[in-house]
Structure 1
Amino acid sequence: MNNKKSILLLALVFVVPVILAKLALELDWFNKGATNKGQLLDPVLDMSPLYPADSAPTIWRVVYIMPAQCEQRCQNALYSINQVWLALGRENERVSPVIITTASSDQSAIQQLESMPNLTLFSTNQQSIDRVFKDTATDGIFVVDTLQNIILRYDLQQEQQQAVMHSREILADVKKLLKLSRIG
């Protein structure tokens, strides 16, 4: 009789935690940990239709789509992308800051980008952008992985101080991705 109690007690010690863990997962008894600061896109968006086939596939990208009118939020986004790239230091060769323009993009803002030679300009048409982004808003800063999947989105900031703080969040996520990635 003592043997049966010992075996039953031993089984309970191993089975009860498994059952509690299963219930905790299914009933959301805890907050799932997330370390990314940006909005994780689910499902990810395939950005490969926007790039030519000969573009470097093994590089991370921080992307912004230039709107028709580049107001303060747009200026802050351009500043943030440039600052993130500069802050990466020796890791910046693994990341390319890309500004995607269309025929309707603000031409005066594009000319101002000459003062930021680190930013890569890429021109495409609005139909390609609409095909890639479908139901996702294009007014944000995006992180694109080495397989040309858009994985993270960051909102634009109206105030420059907020944009600087937001740049730190983008930088933290990009650094974490670079640390975890063996390619790019």
Structure 2
Amino acid sequence: MNTQLKKNRIIILVIFAMSIIPFAIAWFLADNPGKVKLGTNNGELITPPLTTEASDFTGYDSFSADNIKELQGHWILINVLSQAECQQACQEGLYKTQQITLMMGKDIARIRRLALISNQAEQPLPKQWQEDARLLKALPSATLKATLQKVAAGEQPGGLLIMDPLGNLMMQYDPGYDPYKVRNDLSKLLRISQIG
């Protein structure tokens, strides 16, 4: 009889613990939302997305000025060049975006690359940029410069921003990002996207 009483008490304690533990976990997560990473994306979502207008982008050279309308209706990989010169991190970022577009295969037609040049007078274009037939180069408007200060990738050389076909800056990557992870995120976006 004594062993049966112990078993019953253990069963009651287990049932009590099973009903209390989920509430304790939920309470902890409600107080500490940063402890859980939701989603499967590798980049950081910009919430809420930052909107841009077509008039925020002005072609830097004649090729870009002629093709600046290509930004509308496409997914854009944006390298923001905020320093006076394109240093090593900036060069690597431009090279990585070139490789990402090549990795996209059949979806390459849905993607454009953009070098956003903040310091027009101080920044001579490197020779390899002039030879890159798919890289658009643009100057940001004052409004867009102010918008870019709200995101970390807009200030760091070598960072990357993704803009959707509606002109929303919606994802960012810190310098030194893995191009394969960006490709994975971009593939998911293109697969579920009903636009662009």
- Does the CA contact (< 8 Å) of 1:82 and 1:116 recur in 2? no
Structure 1: runs of 5 or more not aligned: 1-15, 158-162
Aligned length: 159
Q: Cα 1:155–1:55, aligned 2, differ >3 Å: closer, same or farther?
A: same
C-alpha distance 154-104 of structure 1, shift in aligned 2 (>3 A):
farther
| Cα-Cα RMSD | 2.8
Aligned to 2:193: 181
Unaligned runs of 5+ in 2: 1-18, 59-67
Structure 2 equivalent of residue 146 of structure 1 = 165
Alignment partners' CA distance in 1, 2:75 and 2:37: 27
TM-score where L is the length of structure 1: 0.72
**SS of the residue 2:116 aligns to:** strand
**CA gap 1:56/1:76 in 2 versus in 1, 3 angstroms:** closer
Taking the aligned partners of 1:134 and 1:90, their CA distance within structure 2 comes to 34
Map 1:119-130 onto structure 2 (within 5 A).
119-125=135-141, 127-130=142-145
Corresponding residue SS for 2:78: strand
1: CA distance between counterparts of 2:70 and 2:100?
22
TM-score if structure 2 supplies the norm length? 0.68
**Contact (CA 8 Å) 1:41, 1:152: kept in 2 or not?**
yes
Report if the CA contact (8 A) 2:70-2:112 is conserved: no
2:36 aligned to which of 26, 31, 36: 31
User: Which structure is larger by alpha-carbon Rg, 1 or 2?
Assistant: 2
Distance across 1 between alignment mates of 2:121 and 2:180: 30
Is 2:51 aligned against 1:42?
no
Structure 1 match to 2:5: none
- Do the aligned partners of residues 75 and 56 (structure 1) sit closer, same or farther apart at CA in structure 2, a change above 3 Å counting? closer
